[in-house]
Amino acid sequence: MANTAEKTTLSDDVEKEAVVVDQSSPISKIAKGIDEKLLKHSHDADAAMKAFEGIEGQVVELTEEKSRALLRKIDWHLMPIMCVVYGLNYLDKTTLSYASIMGLRLPPSENKLKSGINLTGDQYQWLGSMFYFGYIAWEYPTTRLLQVLPLGKYSAFNIIAWGLVLSCFAAVENYAGAIAIRFFLGLLESAVTPGFALFTSQWYTKKEQGTRTAIWFSFNGWAQIFGGCLAYGIAVGCRKSGTVIEPWKIVFLVTGLLTTTLGVVFLWIVPDNQLNCRWLSKEDRILAIERIRVNAQGVGNKHFKFYQMKEALLDPLSWAFFFFALIADIPNGGISNFFSQLIVGFGYTPEQSLLYGTPGGAVEVVFLIACGWAGDKYGYRILISMIGLCTAILGMVLIVALPLSNNSGRLAGYYLTQASPTPFVALLSLISSNVAGYTKKTTVAAMYLIGYCTGNIIGPQTFRPKHAPRYVPAEITIIVCWSVCLGILTFIHCYCVRQNKIKAQIRASAEYERLENQEWLDLTDKENPEFIYTL
């Protein structure tokens, strides 16, 4: 149907492993059943198939030059807004950490600059965890809505709504109100990460997805830099000049209203898919779909397919993703809510902690982009991401092992811990690259982020008030969790290598015959022999 000048080929490494198969072998029997499975589901093809309706017999030519020009146009329209919104997604979650040392935890007072909501005992820990209760409660429903509803419009709605909810935190007067705000904030933000993973798989080839995911996720680090400087400026300004309302309320108002404004911009710029993209011509829409044919995934399918959900729940790879997210985000939940207090525990003032936390964001940005780029370039996304996790383990060991008097050394250790998100982002990009079938992809994304939420709920509870200011038990827990995660990453890499060898054997079987437009049939990664797992 579509003839291209830029031909998609399988990985050279995988092709070299293809072997001639005994026709009586189990592999051969699998190959014989492939056509039946493909034809069974071909009536419910991906939305990408619609782009090619009515152009039978016409040549769709995608030259390398045109492909690069399209990629530049897609990058310039999508990446800036995705990066900024994702940075705000992180900033909005961690605004609580800044507010905690700007007066939020104080009892109400007639002095507006020293008035809070009187947090006592472990109430602050529960505020940190409550965000993820909302997140986990709505994660699977929101991934289904991301599949059923227009992707761009539903994502924009959630961005605008979470900004408004965050702004309402400035009106909170007690613990109960704060708990409610944090719950609904988590509920609304639960659409962002799975939505962005779908956008990335929808618009970029597998070889581009790791770098792009790392870039937009790296804005967590930029948000940490921006948020620290913003909070520091507000704190110092309020101390010197005074203000009508409490400094911590100003932080929530600024970040919330900024998010709402960016949500409106997101609604205007980001389409639901290539088919209704206002900034692409009709011809370019077809070519934008053609350039991702190599992914063997398509751009979206709104029908729920129970067999794909079942496959996701029985796939060892799905559970490896889930357990990694669960274990890796116990440290994340603790550090993201307590990093300001950790720095104060190193011997710095609350105002200094706001400013001194910002270099950690720079460390995260550098490691994410470097590992993302190297993973795509050399084809070992998982193994390269482990470099960041090993660096983070070293940082936490320094925090635990160095004497209390070595403030600068322990602060440097904290900075190194900010390299820890590299494998989380690598696996997030692999949900885009290595999970096919739209229902399966949304299910695995939900499982991954449910694990993420569970870990982040547990994380703040490891930082007990009685252990302040050092929090040694929590720090040891973090080291153990990250060490276990190294083992899970090794399993995922080896599993994908094994599956690629099996698929190469199936394709080598004499009974196997590739169908026309097989890429657009909304097949899962398991049932499509042409699908190659990214390492």
Q: What pLDDT, on the 0 to 100 scale, is given for residue 115?
A: 61
Q: What pLDDT, on the 0 to 100 scale, is given for residue 48?
A: 58
Q: Would the CA dihedral through 294, 295, 297, 299 be positive or negative?
A: negative
3-state SS of the chain: helix, strand, coil percent to 5?
A: 75, 0, 25
Q: What pLDDT, on the 0 to 100 scale, is given for residue 22?
A: 44
Q: What pLDDT, on the 0 to 100 scale, is given for residue 290?
A: 84
Tokens (6 digits) for 408: 């600068």
Cβ–Cβ contacts within 10 Å for residue 73, how many? 15
Q: What is the pLDDT along the chain (535 residues), one digit of tens a residue?
A: 444 444 433 334 433 333 333 444 444 444 445 445 544 544 565 655 665 555 555 556 778 888 899 999 999 999 999 999 999 988 877 788 778 777 777 666 555 555 678 778 778 878 878 888 999 999 989 988 998 899 999 999 999 999 999 999 989 888 899 999 999 999 999 999 999 998 998 899 988 999 999 999 999 889 888 888 888 888 787 777 777 788 888 888 999 999 999 999 999 999 998 888 999 988 888 888 888 887 767 666 777 888 899 999 999 999 999 999 999 999 987 787 677 777 877 778 877 777 787 888 899 999 999 999 999 888 899 999 999 999 999 999 998 888 888 888 888 998 999 999 999 999 999 988 899 888 898 899 999 999 998 998 888 788 777 777 677 888 899 999 999 999 999 999 999 999 999 988 888 887 877 766 666 677 888 888 888 898 8
CATH number corresponding to 64-350+424-479: 1.20.1250.20
Crossing angle of helices 175-189 and 64-100, in 10° steps, is 170
Crossing angle of helices 219-241 and 206-217, in 10° steps, is 10
Q: What is the DSSP letter of 112?
A: G
